[in-house]
Amino acid sequence: MKYILFLFILIGCSENNNTYFPLGKMKSWSYKIEIEPEVDKKTVYKKTNLSLGKKRLDIEGKKQIFYPFLREDGSMFFYKFEKNGIYRGGFAFAKDKNINKEQRQRMVLPVPPKIGKKWSVDSKTYLILKRYPYYDYRATTNFMINYEIISKNEVISTPIGKFRNCILVRGVGNTRFIGDSEIGSIAINIMSEEWYAKGVGLIKSVRVEATDSDLFGTTKMTQILESYNEN
């Protein structure tokens, strides 16, 4: 599979592609992920997403047009266009031939992406982790995150250059995690910020999960685009 590598020195978001979440062509995005817990050591790793282009797939007996994204762990997410936005319609675990349909419509970005536009999706906490000598204890619970488009003229610097006129999507939510008798009930406040460049997609995100517990503290995750390839 051949790709053309685009090195972005100064990018103003492509005039040839007017979407902030491009799906049509085969592309790959590689990100650097840093997870910084308040009560543990920082973790750094890489993540790659590969879009496989337009596919006609069968989900629960119904043929639909989807745009699959393959993750480095072998899992897949299936996106689709609707009149009012881009949605994630299903997912499949690694080596799983079955496509699992999302229980609720899960909007990724509205169309058009107007400042002040709001929407909500189901989510779950995944950053809060406490390492013990013989096991890890992760505070995972479901909650509703509320998103809003805050700006459309953000300037973001990445290892492959500077992106202009990008949109900022901010999400906030809160929940409680019920642990064991020692941990008890923990309040968790979640804040997410995502920056999208026109014609490229997600270029940076920051997520913070803050607890009211000294045992778990606050954890921050930063994701930054390191390379982008288009077929």
Residue 16's pLDDT is 37
Q: Is the pLDDT of residue 214 over 90?
A: no
- pLDDT category at 148 given cuts 50, 70, 90 is very high
Q: Is the pLDDT of residue 131 over 90?
A: no
How is residue 185 written in tokens? 């009930």
Residue 179's pLDDT is 77
Amino acid identity of residue 152, one-letter, is K
For residue 190, which phi and psi values (nearest 5 degrees)? -115, 135
Give the tens place of pLDDT for each residue, 75-111. Answer: 999 999 998 999 998 898 887 777 888 888 799 999 9
Asked if 99 and 92 count as a contact pair (C-beta separation under 8 A), the reply is yes
Give the tens place of pLDDT for each residue, 43-73. Answer: 999 999 999 999 998 777 778 899 999 998 8
Q: Is the pLDDT of residue 9 over 60?
A: no
Q: Which helix (H) or strand (E) holds 167?
A: strand 161-178
With CA atoms as reference, report the closest residue to 205 among 216, 220, 217, 189. Answer: 220
The conformation of residue 84, written as its DSSP 8-state character, comes to T
CATH number of 4-230: 2.40.360
Query: pTM (2 decimals)?
Result: 0.87
Residue 112's pLDDT is 93
- Average pLDDT (6-24) is 54
Q: Is the pLDDT of residue 4 over 80?
A: no
Q: Report percent pLDDT > 90 for the chain.
A: 63
Residue 2's pLDDT is 35
| CB contact set of 66 (below 8 Å; sequence gap of 6+) | 55, 56, 57, 59, 78, 79, 80, 89, 90
Residue 18's pLDDT is 54
Cα–Cα–Cα angle for 48, 119, 158, nearest 5°?
35
Q: Is the pLDDT of residue 117 over 80?
A: yes
Provide the residue ranges of all domains of the chain, joining segments of one domain with +.
4-230
Asked if 139 and 211 count as a contact pair (C-beta separation under 8 A), the reply is yes
Cα–Cα–Cα angle for 146, 151, 220, nearest 5°?
55
- Average pLDDT (218-224) is 97
Q: Is the pLDDT of residue 17 over 60?
A: no
Give the tens place of pLDDT for each residue, 158-173. Answer: 999 999 999 999 999 9
- Average pLDDT (137-155) is 95
